[in-house]
Chain A
Amino acid sequence: MNSSFRKKINSNQVQPIATKISSYTSQLLVSSGIPSYDDLLGGGVPVGSLTMIKKDRYTTYADLFGKYFISQGLVSNQDVLVISADNNPENIINNLMGVIEGKSASIIEKESDEELNDNNDNDDKEVQPKKKGVRFAEDDKPVVKKKRVMFSEDTVEPTSKRPIQKKSELKIAWRYEKLPKFNDNNKNYAPNSFCSYFDLTKTLDPEFIKSKQENITLINIRDWDQNDDIYTKLYNIIEDKLKSDKYTKDNNTKTKSVLRILIDSFDSPFWNLSNTNNNYSQKYIFLHKLKILLRNTYSICMFTIPSYIYNDSRDNYISSHIRRLEHTCDCVIRIDSFEGMENPLSKDITQDFQGFFHVIKLPCINSLVSGIKMSETTLHNLAFKCRRKKFCIETFNLPPEMEETDQREGGTYIKSCSTVKSKLDF
């Protein structure tokens, strides 16, 4: 919804790349990589926020959040910091989902070149677009590109392919010939676009990751000497990293960037290898100090936590430890998949959704209410689905009752009062 009303924004402020300003809370937002999750939070994840994602006992859907978050960061040219004790952080980086329209522009170019050749071979222009559509579907190409089927050969195609060829063929829209061409390229493929499209069936190009090496910092907690105070050490490392001019909130440098921090499985048993008695306050203090740090810089942190090991699961939220951590986080989300449910749900539900998505706390940075436009009832009635290619969050609603009854089978069903077999006889 566009309105003529413009919020007064300090124009001297340098805005970090790939961010936008929320129209509701005036907070700086970055994308989580999951459009439906961004939408839920009112446009994106606020910069300076600390997000807790509670893992599900039986599945690893929560990890997807982290991967999307990191992928999006890399694609939009931001810096990432991945911290893990359970997994090797390199594994996380190497298994990121592939971007459909992203920085891998070279690949797209290559593909389009190949396609050009294909097209030249194929003389039958009538069939061509249709065939293409089919081919795309087979090849797991983006859904967006399927749109091309709708355009006839003679119109300007909004997609990027073959722009040079097409130019000479403009017939209907000759008036617009000189206008700069509408180009999806610049909008979606630019390295600092807000939100990209990801494809879970693909992995991010290793070449691309290699080229981003300087943006990636990995910390493997298990490599550290476990007798050290890992929380203080980790905090100091993050603090050092955030001292860079890029992330500070002054206007010394022209280019600002956002540091995305992902902590994988925070507070899993691997985080307390050294101390035999679990030092609860240490973790709270770490998160609290981290939050202060995040607020004062351009950075954002998301962490997943196996809360089930602290007796915090589907039916019992009794862990006081997790409660305390929740209080210090800005945003708390719980993934609750249908796996392992005591009473299995109907097949109709499970084929649509993979589990519930619980919102426990929403970010209210510098405001009393979160910037969501969703109604309270919808907010607490969400489920997630993980399709082959994408992960998304939707309102949970039960499918229509589709029982195969006599009536549907076309069996005899008398609607009238009389016993005669005429259907409309009263």
Chain B
Amino acid sequence: MSNTESTTRENTLEYSIGLGDDSLMLGQRLAEWCRNAPLLEEDLAISNVALDFIGRANMFYEYAVELAKVTGGVFKNQSVDDIAYLRDSREYLNLLIFEMPIGDFAYTMTRQLIVDLFNVDYFTALSASSDSRLAAIAAKTLKESKYHLRRSHEWALRLGDGTEESHTRMQNAVNELWGYTPELFEMSETELALLPAGISVDRAALFDTWEARVSGILNEATLDHPPGDWQVTGGRAGVHTEYHGHLLSEMQFLQRAYPGLAW
């Protein structure tokens, strides 16, 4: 195995874990709505979306497990659940927007709109990856994301153009979340390294289309485009919000309290 091949494999491993972490964090968050949604129909629908995200985390981690068998390193001999459950906050590579609390229903649906719009383009591009495994995961994921987007688009219209209260809540959510959107288009070193071989996706290149589409939907939903005078990044470097550790302590409870057991 050449050095280049070995480096590519290590980068692909890290790339997979990052994409897995994005999915897991959002899946964990969305699942919080199950039994807490504003109508029973939404308990079911949000749970479906949560299941899709947890399912894709599982697929990305499975690929990471296989790659780690060859690359060795910290993930050697680890299982999907070791990767999902046994790291500390600094070792998770998810983007910040995925870990933010669920907020109110407007906040949750606004995040979905932002993320679903992004994911449809992102996974369309990844489904053409030169890495056939990533391409296959992306193809499956893309179908789900298109459905998610239909839903979040509809909800953005209903809530943005519903009542005065729902409009205000949506506008607040858009304003609060906007600062986490630039990170979606920021390339990590790992992603940059994988780009020439056509393995990763050029996030930066997706910005213009995303910006145009999200602006169009905000407009349609009678919402103002936020000023965008504040933004943060750090997730891919493992620098998270303070919410992240609490999400982990809840999610990891059993694995930490009873280490090394099968469930």
Partners in one complex: no
Q: Residues on A close to B: CB < 8 A?
A: none
Q: Residues on B close to A: CB < 8 A?
A: none
